[in-house]
Amino acid sequence: MSRLSKLICAIAVLSVSTVAFAAGASASSSQTTFFESPGLFVNPATRPATIATLQQLGVRAIRVELAWHNVAPGANSARRPSFDPTDPAAYDWSEYDPVIEEAHERGWRVLLTVTSPVPKWATGNARGKSLLYKPNANQFRSFMTAVGRHYGPVVSLYSIWNEPNHHEFLEPQFNTNGTPASPGIYRSLYTAGYAGLQAAGIAHPAVLIGETAPEGEAHPRRPVRGPKHNVSPITFMRGVLCLSPSYRRARSCPKLTATGWGLHPYASIRGPFYIPKNPETVTIGVLGRMTGALDRAARAGAIGSHLPLFITEFGVISTPNNQIGVPVAKQAEYQAIAEHIAYGNPRVASFSQYLLRDDTPKGRSHVAFQTGLEYANGNAKPLFSSFPVPLAVSRHGSSYALWGLVRPAAGPTTVTVEAKRRGSSRYTTIATVHTDARGYWTLTSGVQASSWRVRWTSPEGAVYKGPPIRAY
């Protein structure tokens, strides 16, 4: 029996359904921060050090993307092999089990996003090359039954698909006449996946719907040729819920059950406060666009009322990305501001950080997904020291409002706030602040300073020093 199987057996007597997440008006008071670092998680050579680093940083929840293609038998064959697709023993989970085992043994929550690519035999065109094209919903239902039977209550929260409104994860996004295609495909996958988890014995599974990318189109120029178009997240949401542009629900579509709407509200280089001109773009500064749309959908009877938002993927791209990356000092500032925005929104149930270490650029280009706490070579950015003790500072007239978090804290604690007063080259202590039970704290200060930073000492004696932070 594997370590994971023993874990599941040990807790099966305690729960027959997935652990529910807090929702509703008090969501921010119990907000979870998920951390995702896919390459380092699944690599046996880097996994132990990665888990140890996350433990030190105060991480208590992770997101894992499980690719159907990576575990399925005969995944590159056009014809499905003969096997029981609902039987977990038919799949190879070895890429994902170790990190989920490690997380569960530490008491961390696990968000499992089941996504593409898919086995060739489960696509809508098995003779084609795409492993994203019209995945078969019936096959997916069987697969999700196997997923539910294998991971059971070890997984706290499930999610169906990663960025299904993006052409890199689901095809086609649009029909050739310009109408959205991906919402209908995704609705079938979501309902099939949810039913599959129920068939696995999880009576009331906690499942996220959406997981949408922040940008896209509502009406691409016709005729649509090729897959490289994305559906805007709000257009996509309406399509999934069978809503017209005026939010009238098709009678043929029953109400969907979901724990929350997942989204990836990446901000542009202009920062977390920027308001995109496209009204259907959803970035961190305009989360109200999605909650407003979901509320209209709820009034139409398409989904439950006051559905929470789960930010399941987020990060601030920094240099050395020379196209859309901000300076690394600003990355730490923007990340804390974004987390403060999420915390202050009562509809947001989770925040997230995507990547511990930057992706490695290909060729001579410096362009890559560089949202990490570390550069690609493993050297720390300012965000590395900021992440366990984030600090956001905003100006209000002649005073400043400070918000922060001691992420590794296991209960109420105190944090030292320092400032570099104007005209000075030194930092001096301006306050010692008490946190709440989850490590959050606030402070209003009249000290005129050019930058601020925080310092915290753990009960074990480890000293955490945040980087200099400016006011916005």
What is the rounded distance in angstroms from the CA atom of residue 195 to the CA atom of residue 209? 13
**What does the block give as tokens for 297?**
């959908």
Instruction: Specify the pLDDT at position 228.
Output: 81
Q: Cα dihedral angle (73, 78, 82, 87), rounded to 10 degrees?
A: 40
Q: What CATH number does the domain located at 390-472 have? A: 2.60.40.10
CATH 3.20.20.80-classified regions of the chain: 3-387
Instruction: Specify the pLDDT at position 310.
Output: 98
In the chain, the percentage of residues whose pLDDT exceeds 70 is: 94
Q: β-pairing, 309-311 with 348-354?
A: parallel
**221: pLDDT confidence band, cut at 50, 70 and 90?**
confident
What is the rounded distance in angstroms from the CA atom of residue 289 to the CA atom of residue 39? 32
**What does the block give as tokens for 15?**
């729960």
Instruction: Specify the pLDDT at position 28.
Output: 53
What is the rounded distance in angstroms from the CA atom of residue 253 to the CA atom of residue 148? 25
**363: pLDDT confidence band, cut at 50, 70 and 90?**
confident
Q: β-pairing, 109-115 with 463-465?
A: unpaired
Instruction: Specify the pLDDT at position 41.
Output: 97
Nearest CA to 317 out of 281, 286, 358 is that of 358
Q: Inform me whether the pLDDT recorded for 19 exceeds 70.
A: no
Four-residue CA torsion sign, 128, 132, 137, 138: positive
Q: How many CB atoms lie within 10 A of CB 362?
A: 8
Of residues 19 and 458, more confidently modeled: 458
Q: Inform me whether the pLDDT recorded for 25 exceeds 70.
A: no
Q: Inform me whether the pLDDT recorded for 382 exceeds 70.
A: yes
pTM reported for the whole predicted model:
0.94
**What does the block give as tokens for 29?**
């008071």
Q: Residue 399, SS3?
A: strand
Report DSSP state, residue 173: S
- For residue 288, give every residue at least 6 positions away whose Cβ sits within 8 Å of its Cβ, in sequence order, or none: none
CATH 2.60.40.10-classified regions of the chain: 390-472
Q: Cite the DSSP H helix spans in 200-349.
A: 233-240, 288-299, 328-344
Which CATH superfamily does the domain covering 3-387 fall into? Answer: Glycosidases (3.20.20.80)
Task: List own/partner pairs for 94-98 with CB under 8 A and 24 or more apart.
Answer: 95/42, 95/70, 95/71, 96/42, 96/64, 96/66, 96/71, 97/2, 97/3, 97/4, 98/44, 98/47
Region of poorest pLDDT, from 143-152, 276-285, 354-363: 354-363
Instruction: Specify the pLDDT at position 459.
Output: 96
Instruction: Specify the pLDDT at position 276.
Output: 96
Of residues 451 and 368, more confidently modeled: 451
**What does the block give as tokens for 330?**
């600003």
